[in-house]
Amino acid sequence: MKILILCTGNSCRSQMAHGFMQSFNKDLYVRSAGTEASGKLNPHAVKAMKEIGIDISHHTSDPVDQYLGDEWDYVITVCGGANENCPVFMGKVKHRLHMGFDDPSDATGSDEFIWSEYIRVRDEIKDAFSKFYKEEIEPEL
Protein backbone atom coordinates (compact mmCIF):
# COMPACT_ATOMS: atom_id res chain seq x y z
CA MET A 1 0.00 0.00 0.00
CA LYS A 2 1.53 3.29 -1.17
CA ILE A 3 0.30 6.57 0.30
CA LEU A 4 1.46 10.09 -0.59
CA ILE A 5 0.40 12.99 1.63
CA LEU A 6 0.58 16.47 0.12
CA CYS A 7 0.62 19.93 1.62
CA THR A 8 1.98 23.25 0.45
CA GLY A 9 5.21 23.54 2.46
CA ASN A 10 5.60 19.90 3.58
CA SER A 11 6.89 21.08 6.93
CA CYS A 12 4.00 20.55 9.36
CA ARG A 13 0.57 19.02 8.61
CA SER A 14 1.67 16.55 5.94
CA GLN A 15 4.61 15.55 8.13
CA MET A 16 2.32 14.88 11.09
CA ALA A 17 -0.05 12.84 8.92
CA HIS A 18 2.93 10.91 7.52
CA GLY A 19 4.10 10.16 11.05
CA PHE A 20 0.68 8.95 12.14
CA MET A 21 0.17 6.69 9.12
CA GLN A 22 3.59 5.11 9.61
CA SER A 23 2.84 4.63 13.33
CA PHE A 24 -0.41 2.79 12.53
CA ASN A 25 1.38 0.28 10.31
CA LYS A 26 5.14 0.15 9.72
CA ASP A 27 4.58 -1.90 6.53
CA LEU A 28 2.82 0.95 4.72
CA TYR A 29 4.88 2.86 2.16
CA VAL A 30 4.16 6.46 3.19
CA ARG A 31 5.73 9.61 1.81
CA SER A 32 4.88 13.28 2.14
CA ALA A 33 5.69 16.15 -0.15
CA GLY A 34 4.88 19.78 -0.83
CA THR A 35 3.73 21.76 -3.83
CA GLU A 36 6.14 24.44 -2.55
CA ALA A 37 8.31 22.32 -0.22
CA SER A 38 10.09 24.42 2.40
CA GLY A 39 13.05 22.06 2.61
CA LYS A 40 12.81 21.85 6.40
CA LEU A 41 10.52 20.55 9.11
CA ASN A 42 8.60 22.86 11.42
CA PRO A 43 10.23 22.42 14.86
CA HIS A 44 6.87 22.82 16.63
CA ALA A 45 5.43 19.97 14.54
CA VAL A 46 8.40 17.75 15.45
CA LYS A 47 7.96 18.64 19.14
CA ALA A 48 4.18 18.06 19.09
CA MET A 49 4.63 14.61 17.58
CA LYS A 50 7.51 13.71 19.91
CA GLU A 51 5.25 14.60 22.85
CA ILE A 52 3.05 11.60 21.92
CA GLY A 53 5.93 9.26 21.11
CA ILE A 54 6.22 9.67 17.33
CA ASP A 55 9.59 10.81 16.01
CA ILE A 56 9.38 12.63 12.68
CA SER A 57 12.71 14.45 13.08
CA HIS A 58 14.29 12.21 10.43
CA HIS A 59 11.67 13.11 7.78
CA THR A 60 12.63 15.33 4.86
CA SER A 61 10.63 18.11 3.25
CA ASP A 62 10.42 17.04 -0.39
CA PRO A 63 9.00 18.63 -3.55
CA VAL A 64 6.05 16.75 -5.02
CA ASP A 65 7.82 16.64 -8.40
CA GLN A 66 10.03 13.78 -7.23
CA TYR A 67 6.96 11.54 -6.80
CA LEU A 68 4.99 12.40 -9.95
CA GLY A 69 6.20 9.37 -11.91
CA ASP A 70 5.29 6.87 -9.18
CA GLU A 71 2.07 4.91 -8.80
CA TRP A 72 0.06 5.52 -5.63
CA ASP A 73 -2.86 3.79 -3.96
CA TYR A 74 -3.78 7.04 -2.21
CA VAL A 75 -2.79 10.67 -2.67
CA ILE A 76 -4.15 12.77 0.18
CA THR A 77 -4.00 16.56 0.36
CA VAL A 78 -4.15 18.07 3.86
CA CYS A 79 -4.42 21.79 3.11
CA GLY A 80 -6.45 23.92 0.74
CA GLY A 81 -3.41 25.20 -1.15
CA ALA A 82 -2.18 21.72 -1.98
CA ASN A 83 -5.67 20.60 -2.92
CA GLU A 84 -6.06 23.48 -5.37
CA ASN A 85 -2.51 23.29 -6.73
CA CYS A 86 -2.07 19.53 -6.63
CA PRO A 87 -0.40 18.21 -9.77
CA VAL A 88 -2.47 15.81 -11.82
CA PHE A 89 -1.34 12.21 -11.30
CA MET A 90 -2.54 10.97 -14.67
CA GLY A 91 -3.65 7.38 -14.27
CA LYS A 92 -1.19 6.63 -11.50
CA VAL A 93 -3.42 7.15 -8.46
CA LYS A 94 -6.21 4.82 -7.41
CA HIS A 95 -7.74 7.22 -4.87
CA ARG A 96 -7.33 10.98 -4.41
CA LEU A 97 -8.67 12.44 -1.17
CA HIS A 98 -8.66 15.79 0.57
CA MET A 99 -8.66 16.18 4.36
CA GLY A 100 -8.19 19.85 5.18
CA PHE A 101 -6.62 21.11 8.40
CA ASP A 102 -5.79 24.59 9.68
CA ASP A 103 -2.14 25.57 9.44
CA PRO A 104 -0.91 26.00 13.02
CA SER A 105 2.10 27.97 11.78
CA ASP A 106 -0.38 30.75 10.90
CA ALA A 107 -1.42 31.10 14.56
CA THR A 108 -0.66 34.39 16.26
CA GLY A 109 -0.84 35.38 19.90
CA SER A 110 0.83 34.15 23.05
CA ASP A 111 3.30 31.28 23.00
CA GLU A 112 0.75 29.21 24.90
CA PHE A 113 -1.99 29.87 22.35
CA ILE A 114 0.32 29.10 19.42
CA TRP A 115 1.42 25.84 21.06
CA SER A 116 -2.23 24.93 21.73
CA GLU A 117 -2.93 25.33 18.00
CA TYR A 118 -0.19 22.82 17.15
CA ILE A 119 -1.67 20.36 19.65
CA ARG A 120 -5.22 20.93 18.38
CA VAL A 121 -4.24 20.40 14.74
CA ARG A 122 -2.06 17.39 15.62
CA ASP A 123 -4.99 15.77 17.42
CA GLU A 124 -7.39 16.53 14.53
CA ILE A 125 -4.93 14.94 12.09
CA LYS A 126 -4.57 11.91 14.35
CA ASP A 127 -8.35 11.45 14.59
CA ALA A 128 -8.94 11.87 10.85
CA PHE A 129 -6.09 9.62 9.75
CA SER A 130 -6.90 6.98 12.36
CA LYS A 131 -10.46 6.81 11.02
CA PHE A 132 -9.14 6.72 7.44
CA TYR A 133 -6.73 3.91 8.32
CA LYS A 134 -9.38 1.81 10.08
CA GLU A 135 -12.10 2.32 7.47
CA GLU A 136 -10.13 2.41 4.21
CA ILE A 137 -6.65 0.91 4.63
CA GLU A 138 -7.09 -1.98 7.07
CA PRO A 139 -9.86 -3.64 5.04
CA GLU A 140 -7.57 -3.62 1.98
CA LEU A 141 -4.63 -5.26 3.77
Question: Residues with catalytic annotation?
Answer: 7, 79, 86
The burial of 107, by beta-carbon neighbours within 10 Å (0-12 exposed, 13-18 middle, 19 or more buried), is given as: middle
Say how far apart CA 1 and CA 101 lie, in whole Å.
24
